[in-house]
Amino acid sequence: LNTDAKFNQLHRALLNLEESGQRACLIVDEAHSLSIPSLKHLKRLYEMPPSGGYGSLISIILIGQPELLIKLSVNNPDIRELAQRCDMVALKPIAVAELEEFIAHRMSRISKTAADIIDQSGIAAMAQYLVDGKGQSQLWPLLVGNFLIAAMNKAAHIGEDVINAGVIQEVATWRN
């Protein structure tokens, strides 16, 4: 099939989905790596007309690094039309005051509490280590998760029951 035939086939499939009362959503992770032509193809998908003629047959969620915001700038003439159709949300780092709550939330997913894996000195040490010299939080969810994994492994290796400030210090020393 040529490109137009594939596009028409996809359009028919999305129309059938719409007729059955369902919606389609395309989620693209690492979207900052997409080329401009690929992004333009996504715009074409988004603009496929539904049977009623209004709206879109598909929702598209692009997840990427900050470079995606640059690529999707309305000042970029190659991609302006797509950028004008996007709602952009930038993930902010976790506030220091919310670190314990974030850890508690993550642990609740495995029926544990934050106190089961880290004590207050460990939380304070992690917050201190993951805030830069300018006071800017570096408490990104992925970084916090990876740091916790390293700290749990270090605690197990040295025989600590929970992560404490000493364990965090050892992990921080190892990471530098």
Residue-wise pLDDT for 56-104, tens only, equals 899 999 999 989 998 998 888 888 888 888 888 888 899 999 999 999 9
CA-CA distance, 35 to 136, in Å (whole number)?
Answer: 32
Buried-state track 116-144, b at ≥16 Cβ within 10 A, e below 16: ebbbeebbbbbbebbbeeeeebebeeeeb
> pLDDT tens per residue, the chain (176 residues)?
688 899 899 999 999 999 999 999 999 999 999 999 999 999 989 988 888 777 889 999 999 998 999 899 888 888 888 888 888 888 889 999 999 999 999 999 999 999 999 999 999 999 999 988 888 888 999 999 999 999 999 999 999 999 999 999 999 987 65
